[in-house]
Structure 1
């Protein structure tokens, strides 16, 4: 297996790659099906070496064809197996070729599940379950919830409670979006074929994919990157996968001659009464990721708490227009919104920042909630917005369900409306600058706690202030934040992790120590 590629392709782009391959192979892609089946067989032999019994569940399409190739290799190697199929592949298809070859070699295909597809009333399986299941039911053509018998078969697989390998994508996942609208195979591993699909990296799908492996099938899919007519593809820009490993060359460099002023000056406007913690976390993120100087404009009754935790931070009176303007003039980058409140004061601050044309501004939290009511004023290429799905729904005037049903599409729509760079938080964070969509292939449920976004906002503002540029500052910041959460969760446990626990690993990662 190869390491995961950077390039990500929607299902219609994959069809184009397959069509181009077919032009050079007598009009078919059966060789790709053979290689796909071999990749899954090799994975089973390598990762499940003690497996003595394998069950393969095949649909009628090409995903099922891959399954028949796996079955034939098991047959050739005298490995005990059973094949269950929802039906016979359509005649003349590549899947039918694989099916017919398997049957000619003596393979047996069963068309009903044990107990005729029904579990006993007590839910207890009355026979020995296999060591490994291969899910070859549904592929990238799925765009809706599995229905009828297909849903029953998926439920059956999940109730067997054994190790499951999905071919290309778990059955029930929407390949382009990662949404899971109904029943879905819960895989322990997924072997993705030919090209990496966006749905494997974001949204609810990450709960079903398991260990993600990649098999290129001998095709250099990266050579197709950014060559499509994007007016005809699912998404109007190319898609890229990004991880901490990929952004390490972009980490800020600190030369021996640098002083604090050379490392970026950040102003954070945050922390209304009762919400001083947001200002503390945002300021901590900026400091731990390397900003040379950080000022925080907040309510005076939060000063003591802020300085007792982070004496390195400088304070500005949030209610003094003069002091705030001086701080704005002083800063290289401004972050606004965490714990700020949805009120007229926040609106006045946003009006002031809208007139700032020579500085980058990062909008988060309450700044976004105010922005959703006055968005016509705020289209600007020097802005970053960092909504979670709820904030994104308010910004686009839709439901949270609509945002999560297509996170990449939602991120692009936000960019169309607000400009600059958009970071859509959530599982498989998505970033868009109008030229590409980037999926952050890092993260941990350890970050699913209040204040994590405040920490991220400070990190992003700091990295932009250190000269990384708008898009790269956002991507690098998101990768560092997500990896820090993952490391913290691994070392200290994902439950009960706090943003300040995560911040110490931010320092390690921004220094290239992973």
Structure 2
């Protein structure tokens, strides 16, 4: 994947476009790999049972490694903790918690273990026995006394359920989790917050809200998408020093975008640069009463490096928009020479504030039937969903990025939004299969898929759930397309930088955050070497 401004600049000539360097693949070996639950369980089993004898790890020894890693993180994050309440379940996740409890007890911390049911796995039984042998105390959950127990604790540890949980919580789990959350104490979750699905990130009605989650062996996709960020807090992955051979049978389902990505994909510009060397982006949208969307997209494109930015908007907007934004060229839907504008453009963004009128349909139809790299967003996606003829006209061999939010994705796939959100991985793959190119499924833990590689964005915040954010993203991705980056690189850079800008803006608070608040930081984020 990638590219940036080429170093060999041609003599100045009107409308010459200098493409970025030849695309190459992102280095996935340096990014956090993501797996599904069954893969992590099999990696664990392989390390214990399938590896050659000299590489195998005893199951209980592996549990002790997990407990030690978790205890170190607990001490690092809450060094003043003097009273610890540990909640355990019957399986190996509970076993990890018993090990944490023993280490805390041996370190002089006051520890109480509360178990929801007695240990059942062999390693968990042994971990509980070792804790008691070291002088630790435990008791079964007693809801009448639980508030008092919680009040005495400085910190809590969640070892109730592991990453293999799915479905609906039953028995005493919902009440116990609700009371733990109500205590509002610093909380460490082992592997995954109990109640959260490790594959899809969907939370149960009662799910532990953690401040810190330590994931053992490998990270699962469900820690970073859908509901996950509300419940995980900070996520740390501990591989427990498993041999590399334990992972060989499993290809990661995806990878996390890394904050260092812009440094590898965006290079300083050549000293003898010209505006046309950095691409001409044409945006289309801004129908009556929705002009703000195209302004946001066009401004974001300019601030992230496009050499020229032109916008097709409702004719009534042109004078005012041109006066307010002299660096962006505006033309009216009715008055513009569309073919001339297409001939000058290096990439397109279609959809921000476009509406779904008959005129909008005609414009979308004219814009998608070409081989220019393009971003299709907002109402252009809704028109694709409702007009099969438009989908048929879409040239799938041209570089393409579609950027639906869950509602738009549901319309494109003819399913419900709930179905999209309950399996975002399948949804983004279905979108890419249907439309080709690169699909970006927006939302918490945005997913990017090009038919081969899946990337997940761990940045961003709930304050960004406001109008105009998607318009900014479309403009940023379009800017990178116009500069000659591949569709996948453009999508990855766009999603990452957009999310990082949102996090910078949220330093002043998430509530009340507006799309325009991201604009000031965009320029700095696309100049990573400055």
Aligned residue for 2:162, secondary structure, equals: coil
Deviation track 1:289-334 (CA, whole Å, cap 9, x = no partner) reads: 01001110111111133223311111222124x6112211211100
Q: How far 1:498 moved relative to its partner?
A: 2.5
* CA spacing shift, 1:168–1:198, aligned 2, 3 Å: same
| Corresponding residue number in structure 2 for 1:137 | 160
Conserved in 2, the CA contact under 8 Å of 1:66 and 1:136? yes
Q: How far 1:127 moved relative to its partner?
A: 7.4
Aligned residue for 2:311, secondary structure, equals: strand
Aligned residue for 2:109, secondary structure, equals: coil
Aligned residue for 2:386, secondary structure, equals: coil
Structure 1 position 362 matched with structure 2 position 375: yes
CA distance in 2, matches of 1:128, 1:341: 55
CA distance in 1, matches of 2:103, 2:416: 47
Deviation track 1:346-391 (CA, whole Å, cap 9, x = no partner) reads: 222232233202x111000000000111354147242211011111
Report which stretch shifted further, 24-33 or 380-389: 24-33
Aligned length: 493
Aligned residue for 1:301, secondary structure, equals: helix
Structure 1 position 48 matched with structure 2 position 78: yes
Conserved in 2, the CA contact under 8 Å of 1:238 and 1:435? no
* CA spacing shift, 1:223–1:332, aligned 2, 3 Å: farther
Deviation track 1:389-424 (CA, whole Å, cap 9, x = no partner) reads: 111111111111111112222111111111100111
Report which stretch shifted further, 76-85 or 278-287: 76-85
Match of 1:263 among 269, 278, 290: 278
Conserved in 2, the CA contact under 8 Å of 1:17 and 1:221? no
| Corresponding residue number in structure 2 for 1:499 | 515
Report which stretch shifted further, 207-216 or 265-274: 207-216
Conserved in 2, the CA contact under 8 Å of 1:279 and 1:338? yes
CA distance in 1, matches of 2:246, 2:322: 53
Report which stretch shifted further, 164-173 or 16-25: 16-25
Conserved in 1, the CA contact under 8 Å of 2:31 and 2:257? no
Conserved in 1, the CA contact under 8 Å of 2:46 and 2:246? no
| Corresponding residue number in structure 2 for 1:10 | 36
* CA spacing shift, 1:13–1:295, aligned 2, 3 Å: same
Report which stretch shifted further, 388-397 or 73-82: 73-82
Structure 1 position 437 matched with structure 2 position 450: no
Alignment of 1:465-480 (within 5 A): 465-480=482-497
Q: How far 1:37 moved relative to its partner?
A: 0.5
Match of 1:315 among 306, 320, 330: 330
Aligned residue for 1:423, secondary structure, equals: strand
CA distance in 1, matches of 2:494, 2:162: 34
* CA spacing shift, 1:79–1:21, aligned 2, 3 Å: same
CA distance in 1, matches of 2:430, 2:479: 26
| Corresponding residue number in structure 2 for 1:73 | 103
| Corresponding residue number in structure 1 for 2:242 | 219
Q: TM-score, normalised by structure 2?
A: 0.88
Question: Relative contact order (C-alpha < 8 Å, sep 6+): which is higher?
Answer: 2
Conserved in 2, the CA contact under 8 Å of 1:165 and 1:190? yes
| Corresponding residue number in structure 1 for 2:133 | 104
Conserved in 2, the CA contact under 8 Å of 1:456 and 1:477? yes
* CA spacing shift, 1:126–1:29, aligned 2, 3 Å: closer
Report which stretch shifted further, 472-481 or 368-377: 368-377
CA distance in 2, matches of 1:468, 1:513: 18
Q: How far 1:181 moved relative to its partner?
A: 2.6
CA distance in 1, matches of 2:95, 2:367: 58
Match of 2:384 among 353, 356, 371: 371
Q: Where do 5+ consecutive residues of structure 1 fail to align?
A: 120-124, 231-236
Match of 1:162 among 175, 185, 190: 185
CA distance in 2, matches of 1:185, 1:126: 17
CA distance in 2, matches of 1:61, 1:126: 23
